Each structure stands twice: as C-alpha cells, then as structure tokens.
A and B are shown apart, each in its own frame.
Chain A
C-alpha cells in the first residue's frame, strides 16, 4: 500500500510539469496585451517599462525555467493586472472561499442525494421512487444558472425569506449558492446510489441473508449500504474536483469572491500569471483529489486490498 502511495506521489511531479508546460505554451499563444484594458493604446515607452518589469520579453525558455522554479518554491509570481497583489495573495484570499462553497455544496449533495437514492431503491417502482427520481433527473438536466436564478428569484426576491441576493458573508448568504452548486452532484449521487443499491440488492449474498432470516434493516444497513457506497466514494473524488473547478457560474451570479470568478476574468484580461497559477492550482486539486480517492478506495474495497499485498 505504501509503495503504491509513494509511486503515485512521485508520478504527480512529471504530471505537474506537463501541466505547467501545456499552460505556459498556450498562454504564450494567446494574443492580447494585458496592459491595454481600454481602447487607449499604451505608449511605447510605458509598454517597454512594463515588459521589462515583468520579464515579458525575455526568451521563452528563461521565462519557463523561472516559472517552474517559482512553482516548486510556492511562488506563483505577481499579477499583471492587480498590481499590488501576487498570485499567492489572490489564492490565499480566494481559494478558501471556493473550497468552502464546494464543501457546502458537496455536503448538501450527500445529505440530500444519498438518502434520496436509498429511498428510491428501497421503494423501487413505487410512487416514492418516481418522485425521488423526478427530483434527481431535474437536477441533472436543468443547467445550474437556471437553478441559481430561480432560487434567487423565489427565495431572495419574491418570498424574501431572509436570504440576501448575493454575497458570501453571513451564514444566510451561504445557503442559496451552496444549494445551487450542489444540485447537480445531488442528482448524480441520487441516481448512482439508487443504481448500485438495486444492483447489490439482487446479489446472491443479500438473498442469502434474507433467506437466513436477518431483519431487513440489518441487511440494508450492514451489507447493502456499505457495498453500495463504494462507487459513491470513487465518484466523489472527481466530482468534488469538478465542482470546485466549475463553480465560476455560481460565483458570478452570486457575487462570491472565489477563485472561479477570478479565473474567468484573468483569462479575458490576459493576466497570464494569474491564469497559469490558477490552472496549476486546479490541476493540483484534481490530481490530489483523485489520489486521495484511490487510496481511500484501496482501504474500502477488500478486493483491491488483496490485490495490493
């Protein structure tokens, strides 16, 4: 097991280098002047000053080498647009917000989605199942910007239940965005859990347990649930990564100062260092998220545990 972990950890280094290289090369290709925000052209002398200050005219391999050095010493460079902040500052102040938003969304997804799936599976083919799957399918198909807009309209504007229309400050302000972001994962989990539970319920060992006369709850609780939840865990990893990296729509609509919103604006503004830094951050999240889930899976599923030793 430890050998597996170490090998995977070692593999992340070349993967990360590759990610940096891809992003770096692509950013160099994107045309546009980060210092020209309005129609006003930048006078030549000032452009020269800025290029010098940010080393933009150095040969590309020098820039790349410096950048890689920076990444591995946790220095992601200065922002070209936000002149008094470095990319590290931006990450420090905004990443926790996105992380929190993603976490709450995920918690919502699990608290609502898993029981929904279980309920649907236990009452398969009955009305409860239909309704549960109705909700789940709605969450799947309805795009999150509509969910967000509807939530704001009904809860914050029309019925005015005490939640603000935007912002991320009081606990009330965190409710709607978390639900809006968590709607899709909730649907995903509901469908997934229902499916795996139905599959497990058909398995021989469950039939055996029933035949033995074990009470239904014990069966469900002990055997079925645990085995059904394993695919949920494995899906959770990449899903959490997807949630965090895809949060920019919710952040824009709810005016949440997260990393997603910054990412989108940095691309339009050609703030190269911020775009690169955030892409790398995302990649790290995805890579380590997957690694964590792999390890977790290795512990959970006795079959893989057998394989490893």
Chain B
C-alpha cells in the first residue's frame, strides 16, 4: 500500500506538471474561419448561423424587454418605421408616410402588409396591440414607452378594484379612422415619437392568434407574424431559427434564406464556437480579457452604442468641488485601453456620441485623460471635503477592476475610497430609489431606449425613478420641461446643450461622472462581415444581410 500509493501520487504530480509545461508552451488558438473577405458575389447557400447571448424571455412585443427578444421580433415582425443606419432618422417601413401636427401624429400604412395567416395588416391591429400593452392585466414592463400618449399612463395605472378601467381605456388617444390610418394624440409635441416607434414594443400583434392561444401564442406552431422572416424553430434555451417568408411585401429584396440561431450564454463558449466555424456571427460577446487577442483578427467587429457608463455621486454626502475633482482625477483612456478594452469612447459628458445634435450638446470640459493638478486644485477649494468615501459596484466581471483603477486615481488626490461589491439584483434594490444614505458613489450604466437625448437627460430630474444621486435642481427640471415642448430639433438641441452644461460643464453640478460610452463587440465571419451591422440601439436587420463567397 505504501510504496505503491506513493509512486502513484508522485506519478500523478509528474503528469500534472507535464500538463502545465505543455500548456505553457503551446496554447495558440486554432485558425479562425478563413476565406477571402469581401468580394461581393452572392454565395449559393444564403444561410447563416448566429450565436445569441440569451434565451428570449418572451417573443410577445408587449412583454419582451431584452435585446435578444427585440432583435428576433424586429426581424419577424414589421415595425411602422425603421432607423436609417447612418443618420438614425426614421425611414418608412410598414408606415409609408406620416404627418406630425403639434401633438397629433398620423401614420399612413402601406396597403400590402400581410400576416402569415393571410389577414391584411391594418391600423386596427396597432390599436388593439398598443391598448393591450397598456392594459394593467398584461403587466407589460415597457408600457411606459407609451406614456407619451394622452390617457395612456392613467389607463396603465388603473386598479380594477377601485377604478373603471374600461372607461379609462376608452380615453386613450389611439384610433384607426380607417383601415390604413393610425392616429395618435400625444400629451405634448414630442418630436422623437416617430423614432421611438421603431422600438419593438410598438409592434403589432395578430388579434386572432393572441385570443386563440393565450399565453402560448408565441410558440412556433402558433405564432402569426408579418415580417421578412418566420419563426421556424424555437427550442427553448437551445435554438432559434428564422426562415425567409416569401409572402412578405418586399420579399424579393431579401437575399438571406435562413438564419439559424444557437443560444450560447457563456462568452468563452461562444468564442470557441466561432473559432471552430460552428457559428458565423457571435453576438453573445467576448470576455473582456480575451479581446486583445481577438482584436488582431479581421473577424473582430466593433460598433458604437448609445449608452453611457458612469459613476453616480450622492450630492448630499459629497460637496460640489470634490465631485468635480473626482471627475478630473480619473483617466478614462487608461481604463478603456487596459480594462474595458473594447474600443469604448472616453465619455466627456453624459449624452453619448451618436445622439442627434451631439455637436451642439457636448461640453468639452472634461478630458479623456486625467488632469491631476486641476483635480487637486478643485479639491483645495472645498474645506469640508469628505476624505473617505464608499464606492458601490455590482459583482460582474470588469466593474471591480475599473473601480480599483478609480480608487487608485482618487487616492492620488487624497480621497480614500472603499469598494463594496454586491450582487446585481440586490445592488439595484440597495441603490434606491429612494437613494441610500450609505452610498457615496456608485457605478451604473444607461442604455438609450430611443434616439433622442431627452431619454438620457431626463434621468437627472428631481422625480426621476432612476436618479439615485439626490440631485434636484429646479432650473434643470425647467430646462427639461421646456425641451419637451420644443418641436424644432435645432432649438431643442440647444436646450439639451444647456442641460448638459449644467451636468458636466465648467459650472456643472456633476451629480455623475461619465466614464465611457459603450460599444458592441462581435465576431463576424468574412462572408457576412460587410452586410451584418448592429446599429446604435443594438438592433440588426437580417433582411439586409447577404452571404458572399
């Protein structure tokens, strides 16, 4: 027993050591899917395989909240408008034109929209769908997208035990005067409403399918759609396949025949899958620490996103000049280059690059790199600076490393930050609202719902449910209220600029410190790299994808 076991033990350790040596020596990855890029001649087989990052929680436009559901829905359904990939202005889709008179919006629908069950797509479908999303019984998470419509918020907040919900429903200002005309009355002129209608929650559903199948209407056998692709297969948590629908109004323009989807939630698994040639597009993402290796390859692709990664500050706990000092002490470029590594853009303001009117909105006060001397002098202006602050982050990869870099940066100007990590769901509850007294600084991000700066700037109004900083400035609120009433884009962008100045300008209040503006990172095979694109809102349009050989 003794000698035998000892030899066994020694042998095992030797074997393990050999394994380590082998691992340290080799370790180069296999070649990625090769082939020439570009070209342009259509391949015979117009099929691609996509790696999706999550199982769609729901394919009901009223209930879907995440990007996977959103992307599947936008490809199997027909939205009223789409966003132009370059200018982000709304372009006609199912709505061939629209009129905006103050707070009244009228959409004129095309006459050739069809459902897969043969019914025509009518304005009545939209009335039914939007009212359904607003109904309290459905419990739609995105019902708030419709709150700009007159009567919508009241109907959605109706408690059937106390109020007459049917009466409130009748008061919602959505109507279909005729088969292809959709009229909406808003609570105020909202110039962004047309663009907002590109969001998946504004999609129509087929009344027959919904009433017949109830909760199960989204299953592949039951679902009725009206877009360029059909839901061919949906094996929960494993596979989603979309097949071209030849009955779509513009089917002749769609080259892609089939988009098979594998649901892979783990980043490393998705990367392996891509490198083994099992998927053509990896939308699951890349673990940040693996980005430096993959960046070198031509399959790496990077898209700007409409979102800001920021640190919020509790203005009741941290005085003004200290906040400004903290903002200047941080080296955004270094954080991006070394930690985040996905070519994010250093954020010098809260409104992200890419938002319409950015050139008028941006402040150019903060810098991409740190300015330690300025930070120190700002700090010197505050006699009662708080030397020890808490910094709350959630425990997903990357955030703590960034927090450590920020902690080191603040230490240079004499502020000691204690980092506290929390699990995501608890973190969100802990932050508020109402904001938690124990929090001095915290990390969060904000991704835009639609392409107008109002949905970024309105966060910092006094009553915003997403304002965890205790920042409440009546002048700021007044600016935002004024912007809501300003229909002219140029005028409105000027107001946005003033609001941004109040946040991050030379006399700004700095309730938040912007760190970087997000990007989306994918791996794309050369055969689809040119035609596959993700826009600022993380949407991709499969009807524009062509496989080249």
B465 & A41 in contact (Cβ 8 Å cutoff)? yes
Within 8 A of B (CB), among A22-62: 31-46, 48-50, 52-54
Residues of chain A within 8 A of B426, CB atoms compared:
31-32
B29 & A157 in contact (Cβ 8 Å cutoff)? yes
B237 & A94 in contact (Cβ 8 Å cutoff)? yes
Residues of chain A within 8 A of B445, CB atoms compared:
39
A268 & B7 in contact (Cβ 8 Å cutoff)? no
How many residues from B make CB contacts under 8 Å with A? 67
Minimum CB–CB distance for A68 against chain B, Å = 23
A307 at the interface (CB under 8 A from B): no
Residues of chain A within 8 A of B481, CB atoms compared:
none
Q: How far is it, in angstroms, between the C-alpha of A289 and the C-alpha of B140 when the chains are bound? A: 41
Residues of chain B within 8 A of A83, CB atoms compared:
57-58, 60, 63, 215
A77 at the interface (CB under 8 A from B): no
Q: How far is it, in angstroms, between the C-alpha of A5 and the C-alpha of B152 when the chains are bound? A: 61
Cross-chain contact of A85 among B15, B136, B138, B236 (Cβ < 8 A) = B236
Residues of chain B within 8 A of A85, CB atoms compared:
236
A238 at the interface (CB under 8 A from B): no
B187 at the interface (CB under 8 A from A): no
Cross-chain contact of A43 among B139, B423, B465 (Cβ < 8 A) = B465
Q: How far is it, in angstroms, between the C-alpha of A40 and the C-alpha of B466 when the chains are bound? A: 6
- Number of residue pairs A-B, CB distance < 8 angstroms: 169
B237 & A37 in contact (Cβ 8 Å cutoff)? no
Residues of chain B within 8 A of A54, CB atoms compared:
139
Residues of chain A within 8 A of B57, CB atoms compared:
81-83
B316 at the interface (CB under 8 A from A): no
Minimum CB–CB distance for A215 against chain B, Å = 27
Cross-chain contact of A252 among B55, B266, B276 (Cβ < 8 A) = B266
Residues of chain A within 8 A of B215, CB atoms compared:
83-84, 86
Contacts A37-B66, A46-B140 known; A125 to B4 CB distance under 8 Å?
yes
The bracket for how many chain A residues form the interface is 35 or more
Contacts A46-B144, A257-B235 known; A37 to B466 CB distance under 8 Å?
no
A257 & B236 in contact (Cβ 8 Å cutoff)? yes
A160 & B425 in contact (Cβ 8 Å cutoff)? no
B37 at the interface (CB under 8 A from A): no
Q: How far is it, in angstroms, between the C-alpha of A129 and the C-alpha of B11 when the chains are bound? A: 13
A42 & B425 in contact (Cβ 8 Å cutoff)? no
Within 8 A of B (CB), among A159-174: 160, 164-169
B263 at the interface (CB under 8 A from A): yes
A130 at the interface (CB under 8 A from B): yes
Interface readout for B386-428 with A: 1 if CB under 8 Å, 0 if not? Answer: 0000000000000000000000000000000000000111101
Residues of chain B within 8 A of A39, CB atoms compared:
428, 444-446, 466
Within 8 A of A (CB), among B9-31: 9, 11-12, 15-16, 29-30
Residues of chain A within 8 A of B235, CB atoms compared:
93, 257
B8 & A133 in contact (Cβ 8 Å cutoff)? yes
B156 at the interface (CB under 8 A from A): yes
A48 & B157 in contact (Cβ 8 Å cutoff)? yes
B273 & A165 in contact (Cβ 8 Å cutoff)? yes
Q: How far is it, in angstroms, between the C-alpha of A45 and the C-alpha of B160 when the chains are bound? A: 13
A254 at the interface (CB under 8 A from B): yes
Interface readout for A129-148 with B: 1 if CB under 8 Å, 0 if not? Answer: 11001100110010000000
B447 at the interface (CB under 8 A from A): yes
Minimum CB–CB distance for A27 against chain B, Å = 12
Q: How far is it, in angstroms, between the C-alpha of A261 and the C-alpha of B136 when the chains are bound? A: 32
B272 at the interface (CB under 8 A from A): yes
Minimum CB–CB distance for B319 against chain A, Å = 26
B238 at the interface (CB under 8 A from A): yes
B216 at the interface (CB under 8 A from A): yes
Interface readout for A246-278 with B: 1 if CB under 8 Å, 0 if not? Answer: 000000111101000110010011100000000
B278 at the interface (CB under 8 A from A): yes
Residues of chain A within 8 A of B466, CB atoms compared:
39-41
A303 at the interface (CB under 8 A from B): no
> Which residue of chain B has the shortest Cβ distance to A158 in the bound complex?
B30
Contacts A94-B237, A130-B8 known; A269 to B262 CB distance under 8 Å?
no
Minimum CB–CB distance for B223 against chain A, Å = 10
Contacts A46-B140, A46-B143 known; A84 to B60 CB distance under 8 Å?
yes
Minimum CB–CB distance for B201 against chain A, Å = 12
Minimum CB–CB distance for A280 against chain B, Å = 20
Interface readout for B248-292 with A: 1 if CB under 8 Å, 0 if not? Answer: 000000000000001111101100110110100000000000000
B337 at the interface (CB under 8 A from A): no
Contacts A37-B65, A157-B30, A157-B276 known; A32 to B429 CB distance under 8 Å?
yes
B159 at the interface (CB under 8 A from A): yes
Residues of chain B within 8 A of A164, CB atoms compared:
273, 276, 278
Q: How far is it, in angstroms, between the C-alpha of A133 and the C-alpha of B115 when the chains are bound? A: 65
B269 & A255 in contact (Cβ 8 Å cutoff)? yes
Minimum CB–CB distance for B277 against chain A, Å = 10
B275 & A157 in contact (Cβ 8 Å cutoff)? yes
B425 & A36 in contact (Cβ 8 Å cutoff)? yes
Contacts A157-B29, A160-B30, A268-B425 known; A257 to B263 CB distance under 8 Å?
yes
Cross-chain contact of A269 among B9, B137, B425 (Cβ < 8 A) = B425
B272 & A254 in contact (Cβ 8 Å cutoff)? no
B153 at the interface (CB under 8 A from A): yes
B59 at the interface (CB under 8 A from A): yes
Q: Which of B15, B58, B59, B447: most chain A CB closer than 10 A?
A: B58
Minimum CB–CB distance for A126 against chain B, Å = 9
**Chain A interfacial positions (CB closer than 8 Å to B):** 31-46, 48-50, 52-54, 81-86, 89-90, 93-94, 125, 129-130, 133-134, 137-138, 141, 152, 156-158, 160, 164-169, 252-255, 257, 261-262, 265, 268-270
The 6 A-B residue pairs whose C-beta atoms are closest, nearest first, are A32-B425, A45-B157, A257-B237, A41-B465, A257-B238, A53-B139
Pairs across A and B, CB under 8 Å, 9 listed = A37-B65, A39-B445, A46-B144, A54-B139, A84-B58, A84-B60, A90-B236, A141-B12, A261-B265
User: Assuming A46-B143, A49-B143, A257-B235, what are 15 further A-B pairs, CB within 8 angstroms?
Assistant: A32-B425, A44-B157, A83-B60, A83-B215, A89-B236, A125-B1, A134-B11, A138-B16, A157-B30, A158-B30, A164-B273, A167-B238, A255-B273, A262-B237, A270-B425
